[in-house]
Amino acid sequence: MAKEKGDKLVRYTVELLKSEEAAIEAVRAELSKAAGWAASKSDILRAGVRLFAEQRLEQMKELLAALSTVSKGKKKG
Pairwise CA distance, residues 6 & 76, whole Å? 32
Structure confidence at residue 69 (pLDDT): 79
Domain ranges for the chain, please list them: 18-65
Pairwise CA distance, residues 49 & 55, whole Å? 10
**Can you state the percent helix, strand and coil of the chain, rounding each to 5?**
50, 0, 50
Is residue 2 over pLDDT 80? no
pLDDT per residue as tens digits for the range 22-77: 999 999 999 999 988 888 999 999 999 999 999 999 999 999 999 887 777 666 65
pTM of structure:
0.72
